[in-house]
Amino acid sequence: MNVLFVVNTEFHLFVSLYLYYNNYINNNVKFIVIKSKFRFQDSYQFNKLNVEFIDNTDFNNLKKYNKNIISQINNISTNSYDKVYVFQDADFINNLLISTLKSKKSKLEITLVQDGLVAYVSDYDKVKTLKKRIKLNLLKYFYGYKKLNTTLFWGSNYLIDNYLVSSPEHTIIKTNKKIEKLEFNATSLFSNQLIFDFFKFDSSKYSLSSEKRYVFFISQGYISEKSRKIEIKILNLLIEKCNLHNYELIVKLHPSESIETFSQFTLSNNTTIISEKFPAEFIMINIKNSIIMSGYSSSLLINIQTNKFFWIYPMIYDINFNFKLDHIKVLNTINDLNTIFE
């Protein structure tokens, strides 16, 4: 079987490697890695995989027909694939690649894999949707990207054949197509050291110990200045609480963020900031009896039963959604932070 993985983020690569090592290690597999400004480090062991990169660094500024991108997508599509895994069907390059591949082989099976929380939370906005429709039509009919189809939000690309998500029972996807469960849990992740080796992750670098207790805070990224100030206020409060309750604080930055972003954050001896670009799950599965916290990071979907999980989006962001899991508690106010150490 010829299999293609199309990845846009470190998390996509993480899941793709998991699927590859567990299901396709003896098949002909290729990875398309779409590189953008904040994504992917050269230190990853890409030399161990069959990888082709698409440079998306300057592609958001579309003022003319990009012959190089079209040529590269056409070259990729000359290979005959049986199955393609993609995480973002509405992304421009992914949309174009899916359409081109499907036009060459109609029986190609395309699986859309979970990307964050978009399979469970509607981000529909009438104005934004209209703007996106106009942009897609301009790209298709004015700039010459004829193979684009009008995919306005995650999961709406009609060329998708099936879906792979961790909680099919909670998904908001409206489709008659098959929705399969992504068996993605701590036990299965522990079983494959090759994934950690690929990202060159070494837990000893962060002095992680099962004897210690941590508050692991996963920063969200791409948030407003107002939300950032609230997030930093929460982090400074967590430092005080950690000192009081004998916890260590670990802050994992989003790939789009730098340490300078947190210049107002008061560091202490029991605080570690991680800016390296590896999946937050790598830290989660190496700590026990600890607290995992984030605005609404999908990393918390992996339930590691020795830890406690908290989303704090009502404190920071002007959003609301009904998606709930039993192992994740939602904290609504800063005062609720007093309860997490109980």
Q: Architecture of 2-188 per CATH?
A: 3-Layer(aba) Sandwich (3.40)
- Angle (CA) 195 222 4, round 5°: 35
Give the contacts of 327 (CB within 8 A, at least 6 positions apart): 303, 305, 309
Give the full edge-to-edge strand order of the sheet including 271-274: 271-274, 248-252, 214-218, 291-294, 308-311, 328-330
CATH code 3.40.50.2000 for 202-339: yes
Return the pLDDT at 101. 92
What are 81's strand-pairing partners? none
The answer on pLDDT for 134 being more than 70 is no
257/37 Cα distance (integer angstroms): 11
What is the pLDDT of the chain when averaged over all its residues?
83
Residue 240 phi, psi (nearest 5): -60, -45
Whose tokens are 């407003």? That residue is: 224
Q: Over the stretch 61-119, which tens digit does the pLDDT of each residue have?
A: 554 556 777 888 889 988 889 999 999 988 888 888 998 999 888 889 999 999 988 88
Q: How many CA atoms lie within 13 A of 25 on its CB side?
A: 6
Same fold, 2-188 and 202-339: yes
Contact 301, 189 (CB under 8 A): no
Structure confidence at residue 127 (pLDDT) = 46
Nearest Cα neighbor of 123 from 324, 326, 318 is 318
**Confidence category of residue 279, pLDDT binned at 50, 70, 90:** confident
Q: Is the pLDDT of residue 126 over 60?
A: no
Q: Tell me how far CA of residue 268 lies from CA of 66, 203, 283, 287, in angstroms.
A: 49, 21, 20, 20
Tens of pLDDT, residues 164-222? 998 888 888 888 999 999 887 666 666 678 888 888 888 888 888 888 999 999 988 76
Q: Using the Cα atoms of residue 195, residue 201, residue 203 and residue 206 in order, give the sign of their dihedral.
A: negative
| Owner of token pair 């399969």 | 180
Contact assessment for residue 179 and residue 214, using Cβ atoms and an 8 Å cutoff: no
Tell me, what DSSP letter sits at residue 48? G
User: Per-domain residue ranges for the chain?
Assistant: 2-188, 202-339
